[in-house]
A and B are shown apart, each in its own frame.
Chain A
Amino acid sequence: MIVEIGHFALILSLFVAIVQGVVPLGASAVNNRRWMGIAGPASIAQFLLLCVAFAALTHAFVTSDFSVLNVANNSHTDKPMLYKVSGVWGNHEGSMLLWALILATFGCAVEVFGKNLPDGLKNRTLAVQALISVGFLLFILLTSNPFERLINVPMNGQSLNPLLQDPGLAFHPPFLYLGYVGFSIAYSFAIAALIEGRVDESWARWVRPWTLAAWVFLTIGIALGSWWAYYELGWGGWWFWDPVENASFMPWLAGTALLHSAIVVEKRGALKNWTIFLAIITFGLSLMGTFLVRSGVLTSVHAFATDPERGIFILILLCIAIGGSFALYAVRGPSLSGGGLFKPISREGSLLFNNWILTTATGVVLLGTLYPLFIDAIDAGKVSVGAPFYNRVFIPIMTPLVILMALGPLMSWKRTDAKAVLSRLYLVYGATLAAVVLTYILKGEDGWGGYLGMGLATWLATGVLWDIAERVKLGRTSFGESLKRLKRQPRATWGMTIAHLGLAVTIAGMTGAGNWKVEQIQVMNFGDQLEVAGFTYTFDHVRDVRGPNYNALEGTFTVEKDGKFITTLHSENRTYDTGGMPTTEAGIYTMFLGDLYAVIGDKSGDGYVTRLYWNPLVAWLWGGSLMLAFGGLVSLTDRRHRVGAPKRAKTNRAANNTAAEGAKA
């Protein structure tokens, strides 16, 4: 019964979405205010209906209702509760329902938090958002209905893929989707603005928090996925440039660009056209990512088997969404130009440069992801594009970006004297040089990657700190006064500082884990000792352990350094009751300077094959990613976002400008 209610709510939400999509657009064309207003209540209704549908499916999973095909295929009575719940979105049908729910959630949030938005813009935005919903709800109902019943009810389900039974991955898809789908709001705002034919500073101020929120979620989602790969796949890697990872990385890169270009629109009224374009591209890449992952046109370690028919449906959606919006853009875009002029060397100039690089990087990832398809299509063989390609291309592209990242915030709007900025940075130069020399002393001559990475990380970190020191006039006024100024800094400045520092930490983590990993593979008998990067591992014993729904072989290692006990590592090989598919759980101990990481393999003679790693600075990767996300969050709480979308009162904008000027002065 509950399942049928859910199914019914899902169908109903489709009709509500159709109304929400069609009526306001039609009504606003003839300027009928009353009918336009239907978008708001409809967005709330659509959200509530999808909540009912999602709750019904969750109920079916939690109570293990195996008369539902989806539950029977993906759940099992023995599964711990967490994985029964995460099983809801751990499969195609359920994850698409989550997609639709999040889409509706963002629409509803615009209605609830966007009270101050001008009616026309809000209703059009909600209508565009609803049209996307219509596409996805049709997709769910026609090709992947999660509520399909089974006539022959099985005794038990087939359980969730054991690799996915993991806390990191339980929350990875919701965050990723909140990010992916969150960019739909920026897209809807962009389309609404194109229909209205007006983009101004306040438009950017309304769009920016939504983009920022989506970006924060996407950052967390990507970091969770990477963390999962690190400890679950058992080879100590954290990023594989695999098509599915790229599918989430491309919207992240484009979204990061969008975030920065929206600042220019907001503060200076320039780059309007470009920002609209980026908003379309970013959501387009999210859609394309969904298409790539769902259709199975690309092979990947993350993609589970897929269905071409569904792929074609999403491809059609993609063509309509992207084709339609570009057509609209071509018609309306040219009229949006104008806005503040600026010299190439200025804050705007540096943000524009940031955008060029980020879009180029997005293009490169897109090329690398699609190249194998292209080669296959022209029958020139089968190729794979992997880490070597991206490392070679990405490092030269991203290096100028990081160099500029430290300088950009120091520049003023409109025009900047580059020499004046550069001549103030002696401390930054000194620190960077020191970091490179220190790397040389500690690591010796082991390739330029280490020097470059550590140099860039230090350059960025000290550059960011220098910027904040200048803002509070540290050393140029009394310490107390500086402290007072520090407290008065707007949250947006704090957000930027934290996020940029986060990237510096991430770069250091990537450099450490990428360049100085130590890996040893050998057969060990009980009691054998082995030294890896200065740590002595003793292989103590193995034993069988029983988990909630699996049996595991657990190997125990004691790790010492200079005779001093550090930790005990437990590494497991799990065999789940329901599937013949074993999984590896690495034993990991995280320290400030690196991770101890041990994996146990098969029996070999009397001993076991073991893989022991020293993964330097790898925790900095996740720490830095968290700082990025946290910075975004802090920026989101900035007063000018919280006051939200202030009415387009002149005083308000003037106040903002003076505040911004004051912060810079």
Chain B
Amino acid sequence: MKRKTRRLYMVLVGLCALGAVAAIVLAALEDDIVFFFSPTEIMEKDVIPADQRIRIGGLVESGSVTKAADGVTNLFSVTDMANTIEVQYKGILPDLFREGQGVVTEGYFQGKTLLADEVLAKHDENYMPPEVAEALKKSGKWKEGEPISEALKNGHVPDDAKPAKEY
């Protein structure tokens, strides 16, 4: 084989490999990414697909956190102050999970209830996940810079709220 031909083959093989990787990546981007919605956006949907992983965020509604009869399934509502979604989560809630705090949960919808298998509360107790902040802003219930407690009629943000920390 001449050197030029060989180089051509090498380039072709490289391109094929790159194409294969691109195909895998595109397929994964199609199927394996999770869309984020606010409770209002979910409510506006006619049909909530049951086989699509969905992430929702908002504030944990005050007084909504209860346990199911089995003792380990947590029931709570996530609100953007305009609409509310009920969430079921089996397991131990994160340490920072509190009523009135921002939370992001992920799972599949069964009817109008989100069966979450992941609940994320952030490391910082006075920190608002940006998605949640946006959802609240969209619903017109919260403005940037305003203490979260203003937005929550009955919410209780810890009084010892302190400036956000960095690591």
Contact A393 B127 (CB under 8 A): no
Q: Is B67 an interface residue (CB 8 A)?
A: yes
- Shortest C-beta distance, B54 to chain A (Å), equals 11
Q: What CA separation (Å) do A234 and B121 show in the bound complex?
A: 13
Known A299-B130, A304-B127, A523-B71; judge A611-B164 contact (CB<8 A): no
Instruction: Judge whether B21 and A360 touch: CB under 8 Å.
Output: yes
Judge whether A419 is part of the interface by a CB distance below 8 angstroms: no
Q: Are B28 and A393 in contact (CB under 8 A)?
A: yes
Q: Please give the distance in Å from B102's CB to the nearest CB on chain A.
A: 11
Instruction: Check A167 for interface membership: any CB of B closer than 8 A.
Output: no
Which residue among B27, B37, B125 has the maximum number of chain A CB atoms within 10 Å of its CB?
A: B125
| Interface assignment of B25: CB less than 8 Å from any CB of chain A | yes
A299:B10 contact, CB within 8 angstroms: no
Interface residues of B in 63-105 (CB under 8 A from A): 67, 70-72, 90-93, 95-96
Question: B6, B70, B167: which contacts A304 (Cβ < 8 A)?
Answer: B167
Name A289-303 residues within 8 Å CB distance of B: 294, 299, 301-303
Q: How far is the CB of A457 from chain B (nearest CB, A)?
A: 22
Q: Which B residues are CB-close (under 8 A) to A383?
A: 33-36
Other-chain residue from B93, B134, B164 in contact with A305 (beta carbon distance below 8 A): B164
A344 CA / B21 CA spacing, docked (Å):
20
Pick the contact of A384 from B14, B33, B71, B125 — CB < 8 Å? B33
Overall SS of chain A's interface: mixed
Report the bound CA distance from A381 to B92 in whole Å: 30
Is the beta-carbon distance between A74 and B165 smaller than 8 angstroms? yes
Q: Counting CB contacts under 8 A, is B120 at the interface?
A: yes
Which residue of B24, B33, B131 is within 8 Å of A371 (Cβ)? B33
Contacting residues, chain B, for A381 (C-beta < 8 A): 35-36
Stretch with Cβ within 8 A of A (4 or more), from B108-116, B146-154, B155-163: B155-163
B32 to A392, Cβ gap below 8 A? Answer: yes
Closest to B9 in A: A344
Determine the distance from Cα of A609 to Cα of B97 in the docked complex, in whole angstroms: 15
Residues of chain A contacted by B90 (CB below 8 angstroms): 521
> In the bound complex, do residue A521 and residue B123 qualify as a contact, i.e. CB atoms below 8 Å apart?
no
A521-B90, A521-B91, A604-B72 known; A306 vs B33 contact (CB < 8 Å): no
Of residues B24, B36, B95, which shows the largest number of chain A Cβ atoms within 10 Å of its Cβ? B95
**Are A389 and B29 in contact, CB atoms less than 8 angstroms apart?**
yes
Contact indicator B124/A305 (Cβ below 8 Å): yes
Whether B129 lies near A299 (C-beta < 8 A) is yes
* Chain A residues positioned under 8 Å from B33 (CB to CB): 371, 383-386, 389
A103 at interface by CB-CB < 8 Å = no
B141 close to A (CB within 8 Å) = no
Whether the Cβ atoms of B92 and A602 lie closer than 8 Å is yes
Instruction: Tell me, in angstroms, the Cα distance from A44 to B158 when the chains sit together.
Output: 49
Known: A396-B24, A607-B71. Contact between A164 and B34, CB under 8 A? no
Given the interface pairs A580-B125, A581-B96, the reply to whether A299 lies near B32 with Cβ below 8 Å is no
Cβ-defined contact, B123 with A161, below 8 A: yes
Answer whether residue A404 sits at the interface, using C-beta atoms and an 8 A cutoff.
Answer: no
Q: Which residues from 384 to 426 on chain A have a C-beta closer than 8 Å to any C-beta of chain B?
A: 384-386, 388-389, 392-393, 396-397
**Is the CB of A367 closer than 8 A to any CB of chain B?**
yes
Contact A163 B123 (CB under 8 A): yes
Contacts A304-B166, A305-B166, A371-B29 given; does A161 touch B124 at CB 8 Å: yes
CB-contact partner of B164 in A302, A304, A382, A389, under 8 A: A304
One digit per residue, 1 when the CB lies within 8 angstroms of any chain B CB and 0 when it does not, for chain A 351-376 equals 00000100010001001000100000
Q: A464 CB to closest chain B CB, in angstroms? A: 25
Residue numbers in A under 8 Å from B29 (CB-CB): 371, 385, 389
State whether the Cβ of A453 lies closer than 8 Å to any Cβ in chain B: no
A502 adjacent to chain B (CB < 8 Å): no
Bound Cα distance from A173 to B167, whole angstroms: 9
Residues on B with beta carbons closer than 8 Å to the beta carbon of A306? 166
Interface centre among A92, A303, A583 (most CB of B within 10 A): A303
Task: Tell me, in angstroms, the Cα distance from A611 to B71 when the chains sit together.
Answer: 13
B25, A393: Cβ atoms under 8 Å?
yes
Residue A90, interface by CB 8 Å: yes
Chain B, Cβ-Cβ closest to A397: B21
A41 at interface, CB cutoff 8 A: no
Known: A381-B36, A383-B36, A523-B72. A91 touches B167 (CB 8 A): yes
Considering the chains assembled together, what is the distance between the CA atoms of A397 and B29 in angstroms? 15
Closest to A244 in B: B167
Closest Cβ of chain A to B55, distance in Å, is: 6
Contact A389-B36, Cβ < 8 Å, known A161-B165, A163-B123, A601-B92: no
Contact (Cβ within 8 A) A382 B35: yes
For residue A573, which residues in chain B have a CB less than 8 angstroms away from its CB?
95
Nearest to A578 among chain B residues (CB) is B160
Q: Is A579 an interface residue (CB 8 A)?
A: yes
In the complex, A582 has a CB within 8 A of chain B? yes
Smallest beta-carbon distance B1→chain A, Å: 11
With contact pairs A305-B127, A344-B10, A382-B36 given, residues A609 and B71 touching in the complex (Cβ less than 8 Å): yes
| Contact A158 B167, beta carbon cutoff 8 Å | no
Residue A475 CB within 8 A of the other chain:
no
Which chain B residues border A73 with CB–CB below 8 Å? 163, 165
Determine if B96 and A604 form an interchain contact, defined as CB atoms under 8 angstroms apart.
no
Distance in angstroms between the alpha carbons of A302 and B167 in the assembled complex:
8
A-chain residues with CB within 8 Å of residue B106 when the two chains form the complex: 384
A302-B123, A381-B36, A384-B55 in contact; A367/B91 too (CB < 8 A)?
Answer: no
The chain B residue with its CB closest to the CB of A389 is B32
Query: Given A161-B167, A304-B167, A580-B125, A384 and B34 touching (CB < 8 A)?
Result: yes
- A604 with B32: CB separation less than 8 A: no
Q: Mark A565-600, 1 if CB is under 8 A from B, else 0.
A: 000000001000001111110000000000000010
Which B11-70 residues have C-beta < 8 A from chain A? 14, 17-18, 21, 24-25, 27-29, 31-37, 53, 55, 67, 70
Interface residues of A in 84-118 (CB under 8 A from B): 90-92, 95
- A-B contact sample (15 more), CB < 8 A, given A301-B122, A599-B92: A91-B167, A158-B162, A304-B166, A305-B165, A344-B6, A367-B25, A392-B24, A393-B28, A521-B72, A579-B125, A580-B160, A601-B91, A602-B93, A604-B67, A611-B91
Q: List 14 A-B contacts (CB under 8 A).
A: A161-B167, A301-B120, A301-B123, A304-B165, A304-B167, A360-B21, A367-B25, A371-B29, A382-B35, A382-B37, A385-B33, A521-B72, A521-B90, A602-B93
Across chains A and B, which 9 residue pairs bring their CB atoms closest together, nearest first?
Answer: A305-B164, A601-B92, A523-B71, A382-B36, A92-B166, A388-B32, A389-B32, A604-B71, A392-B28
Report which A residues bind B (CB closer than 8 A): 73-74, 90-92, 95, 158, 161, 163-164, 173, 234, 294, 299, 301-307, 344, 356, 360, 364, 367, 371, 381-386, 388-389, 392-393, 396-397, 521-523, 573, 579-584, 599, 601-602, 604-605, 607, 609, 611
